[in-house]
Amino acid sequence: MQKIFPDADAALAGLLFDGMLIAAGGFGLCGIPERLIDALERAGTKRLRVASNNAGIDGVGLGRLLRSRQIARMISSYVGENKEFERQYLAGEIEVEFCPQGTLAERMRAGGAGIPGFYTRTGVGTLVAENKDHKEFDGETFILERGIVADLAIIKAWKADTAGNLLFRKTARNFNVPAGMCGRVTVAEVEEIVPTGTLDPDGIHLPAVFVQRILCGAPYDKRIEFRTTRPRETA
């Protein structure tokens, strides 16, 4: 299978439809699939349901799709950095399913592993547990969470080989791996593509079996969510 595509628009060609569920990797602005998000904005696909740890910030990352009103529902654990997200939610213009961070990662991983659901203690006794099945194990209460299987997963990696095996750098690894696992089709943008056999097999973070399409999106600018400074000290 030829997995390498020249750009993000080509990599998404034939995959998009209104109302689809997308799993998006990244943590804050770290490891977000910027080129693929830009291509989604250009495509204009509507009523998207997006499962992602967060929604970026205003005008950056998934914040671009919020600005263009392409997202109808977010499944997220944290949404506090995006004023437009807040405005749309309070105005009833977008649906939000809040999901604890670890639970969201496990829902993606479970979906990728073919596990339709699992029981967890996280969220018991809170709004998260409403309308979910409760079960007792060893005298403690657990709630049922469903695995996520997305129509499309968009992720960002550091390196890929031509077969589609991926390596991530540091914090960028955490949500990109489970998001990449749970997509019926997974598209990865990477900073570098190397020949198959170059990467250490014991160091692969996401095997090629989960990845259908890759593109090189370099170069990237380093973005900072909050730039915190102090006054310059004078002698």
Quote the pLDDT of residue 219: 82
Structural domains of the chain in order of their starting residue, each with its CATH number: 8-102+148-216 (3.40.1080.10)
Lowest mean pLDDT, pick from 53-62, 108-117, 133-142, 159-168 = 53-62
Question: Which pLDDT band, with edges at 50, 70 and 90, does 20 fall under?
Answer: very high
Residue 225 clears pLDDT 80, i.e. is over it: no
Quote the pLDDT of residue 55: 87
Q: What are 32-87's pLDDT values in tens digits? A: 999 999 999 999 999 999 999 988 888 889 999 999 999 999 999 987 778 898 89
The mean of the pLDDT values for the chain is: 93
CA atoms within 13 A on the CB side of 85: 25
Residue 199 clears pLDDT 90, i.e. is over it: yes
Q: What are 145-172's pLDDT values in tens digits? A: 999 999 999 999 999 999 999 999 988 8
Whole-structure pTM over 0.85, yes or no? yes
Pairing of strands 140-146, 95-98: unpaired
Residue 221 clears pLDDT 80, i.e. is over it: no
Residue 226 clears pLDDT 70, i.e. is over it: no
Residue 90 clears pLDDT 80, i.e. is over it: yes
